[in-house]
Structure formats: structure tokens, C-alpha cells
Amino acid sequence: MMPTIMKQGRLAPWLYLAPALLIMLVFIAYPTANTIVLSFMDRTGSITAATTCVAGEPCWGMFENYRYALTSPDMLLALKNNALWLVLMVPGTVIAGLFFALLAERVRYEKIAKSIIFMPMAISFIGAGIIWQFVYSIQSGGGAQTGLLNAIIVRFGGQPIAWMSTSTINNFALMVVGVWLWAGFCMTILSAALKNVPGEVLEASRVDGASEWQVFWKVTIPLIMPTLVVVTTTMIINILKIFDIVFVMTGGNYGTEVIANRMFKLIVTDTGRSMALAVLLISLMIPIMIVNIRRFRQQEAMR
């Protein structure tokens, strides 16, 4: 790290840090510790979770809430869905973002095109939910379809689909909304990385007879790899804690439950279980946290 040069007393740095540290202590550190404690308590958060065991059924003692988190049917569905989101959405958004960035770079209306893709980032999830309602809605009792997608399907002679309440289809429909929201984020960051790839390097490899395809895979991709890693890890975190889209569009019903939504539902009714889910969620993120800190250290070392 850079050597310091300011003349200062021993107290001065702490005065600058005090407001931020105090607030973060109260609003991040304390709740995190409290959450861990509560995750071993019952639904009211007053006595140990071991008391919620039912005779004759499996019991994990004070880890009872974690038994719920890892083995209950509700949670197995949520875990499965979170895994599905991770496997499909992370590559989906990153590839879509990269694709846009690559295409937009080659045209004169780059700015407008990128603004359009990026725009969903500026609006709320609630707003996005209402926007997509008019794409997915279904009119089941005769009458004209007012949802765009079903109107198209019916126009070409198909049967309208209940996008939000047909299980498995609804998960994919929600992921489409997710890609719509997040692809702009990936595009923006990857586009900046692409602009940093020196043109001479690309020219040189073309002169050496490499095809565009080879240039892309052998030159461009390795050069933007660090950024690809950043975007991917960020998306993994976003998807792990995916909540808003599901909450707004299906409320986790019809088989679309995810961990964060389950956790939110349980906050009032069963604090212990809810907090166990919170701890589960953060433990899933710890590997990413370590990757981030390590990358930060490397950056600092290079300064």
C-alpha cells in the first residue's frame, strides 16, 4: 500500500472513520452476529430450536432450523430452483451481455443501442414486474389476449399459456425477466473491457492469418478474462440472493420458490428458520467473498 504522507495525530484517522464505522457496526456487523444466534432459536427467537423437535421424527437438536433449511420439501424445491437460476441465468446474462457488447461496438448507433439494453437497470423491480405482466398475462375465459406473448401465440393458431402458473415454464419465464434486467449490467462492464483491448494486437493476429473466430477465442477472450471473472462472480452473488423478481411476479408460488423469498416469508412467522436460511445464503457466498478479497489484494500489490 502507498506510504502515508499526511501529518496527523494518532486520533485523526479514527475521527474520519468514526461515522462510517459506527453505522456499519450497528447495521451490518451486529445484525449478522444476531442472525447467527437467532438461527439456533425457535420461531419466536427466545428459546433454543431444540425444543421444536417432534417426538418420533428426526431431530438435529439445536441445529433443528438447519434441518429444515437442508431437508424440508419446501427448501429442497427452493435450493433446486436457486441452482437452476445459477446454472442458466449466470451464463445467460454474461453471454447476452458479451454478445451485445461485441455487436454494438461495430455500429455507429452504439450509444443508443446500449442505452436501450441498459435501461432496465434504472427502474425498480416492482416496475419491471408490472411491465412484464403485460407480456405474460393470460385471458382464460374467451376474449382477446391482452398479454403480448399469448396474443402472438393465438395469432399463429396456438393455445395461450399460463406463463406464471405453469410450473417449470414459469421458472424460465422469470429467468427471461432476469436476463432482461441484468444483461445491460454485464454488457456495460464487458464493453469497457473490450474497448481496452489494443487494436494493434487484434490487427497483428489478423495479419498472421487468424480468422475472426480465432481472434475472438484466442486473443479477445483471454485479454478480457479478468473482467469476465468479475462479472461472473457479481452475477453469482446477485442470483444467489435473487428475490425481487420472484416476489413480485409469482410470490414464490406454483413451484418458483427460491431461498431468499422463503426467508422473507418466514421472517414474521418463524424467525429461527428464516435466520437459518439467511445463514445458509451467506455461507454459499463466502467462497465468492474470498475470491473478491484475494483479487483486491492482488490489485493492491500491483499498484
Partner 1 sequence: MKMFSGLNRFFRSLPLHLALILMCLVWILPTVGLFVTSFRSKEDVRTSGWWSIFAPKPIEGVAEYTMYCASCHGADGKTIVVADLSDPSLVGNYSRSYQLLGMLKQEVNGGPHLKDTLLPTQANQSLEVLSAVLGYTQHLSGITRNASELTFSNYMDALVGYKGTNNYQDDCKTSGVESNIKFKCKLSDLLNPEGMGAAFLNTLMVTLPTTFLVILFAAFAAFAFAWLDFRGRQWMFALLVGLQIVPLQMTLVPIARLYASIGIQGTFLGIWLFHVGFGLPYAIYLMRNFIGSLPREIFESAYLDGANHWKAFTKLVMPLAMPAIASLGIFQFLWVWNDFLVAKIFLSSHPVLTVQITNLIDPRGANWHILTGAAFLSFLIPMFVFFVFQKYFVRGLLAGSVKG
Strand blocks (E) in 125-172? none
- Judged by CB under 8 A, does residue 7 bind partner 1? yes
Single-letter code of the amino acid located at 280? L
- Judged by CB under 8 A, does residue 134 bind partner 1? yes
C-beta of residue 128 within 8 angstroms of C-beta of residue 245: yes
Measuring CA to CA, which residue among 185, 173, 171 is closest to residue 94?
A: 185
Least separation in angstroms between residue 88's CB and partner 1 is 18
Specify the residue, 159 or 269, whose C-beta has the smaller distance to partner 1: 269
Separation CA 52–CA 271 (nearest Å): 13
Among 244, 253, 254, 255, binds partner 1 (CB under 8 A): 244
- Judged by CB under 8 A, does residue 229 bind partner 1? no
- Judged by CB under 8 A, does residue 143 bind partner 1? yes
- Judged by CB under 8 A, does residue 282 bind partner 1? yes
- HSE of 186 in the Cβ direction (CA atoms, 13 Å)? 28
Centre a 10 Å sphere on the Cβ of residue 292 and count the other Cβ atoms it contains: 15
Least separation in angstroms between residue 40's CB and partner 1 is 14
Considering only residues 33-52, where is the footprint of partner 1 by CB under 8 A?
34-35, 38, 45
Q: How many residues form the binding site for partner 1 (CB under 8 A)?
A: 93
Among 164, 231, 245, 246, binds partner 1 (CB under 8 A): 231
- Judged by CB under 8 A, does residue 55 bind partner 1? no
- Judged by CB under 8 A, does residue 82 bind partner 1? no
Separation CA 206–CA 204 (nearest Å): 5
Centre a 10 Å sphere on the Cβ of residue 81 and count the other Cβ atoms it contains: 22
Specify the residue, 59 or 238, whose C-beta has the smaller distance to partner 1: 238
**What is the C-alpha radius of gyration for the chain, rounded to an integer number of angstroms?**
24
Specify the residue, 165 or 238, whose C-beta has the smaller distance to partner 1: 238
- Judged by CB under 8 A, does residue 19 bind partner 1? yes
Measuring CA to CA, which residue among 171, 302, 164, 186 is closest to residue 235?
A: 186
The total number of residues written for the chain in this structure: 303
Q: DSSP character for 14? A: H
Greatest Cα-to-Cα distance within the chain, rounded to the nearest angstrom = 78
Specify the residue, 45 or 255, whose C-beta has the smaller distance to partner 1: 45
- Judged by CB under 8 A, does residue 267 bind partner 1? yes
Specify the residue, 54 or 144, whose C-beta has the smaller distance to partner 1: 144
Binding mask 169-208 for partner 1 (x = CB under 8 A): -----------x----x--xx--x----------------
3-state SS class at 21: helix
**Of 67-75, 87-95, 97-105, 156-164, which part binds partner 1 (CB under 8 A)?**
97-105
**Cell numbers at residue 241, please?**
440472493
**Of 55-63, 78-86, 197-205, 235-243, which part binds partner 1 (CB under 8 A)?**
235-243
Considering only residues 152-171, where is the footprint of partner 1 by CB under 8 A?
none
Sorted by sequence, the CB contacts under 8 Å of residue 212 that are 6+ apart come out as 206
Centre a 10 Å sphere on the Cβ of residue 122 and count the other Cβ atoms it contains: 9
Least separation in angstroms between residue 294's CB and partner 1 is 9
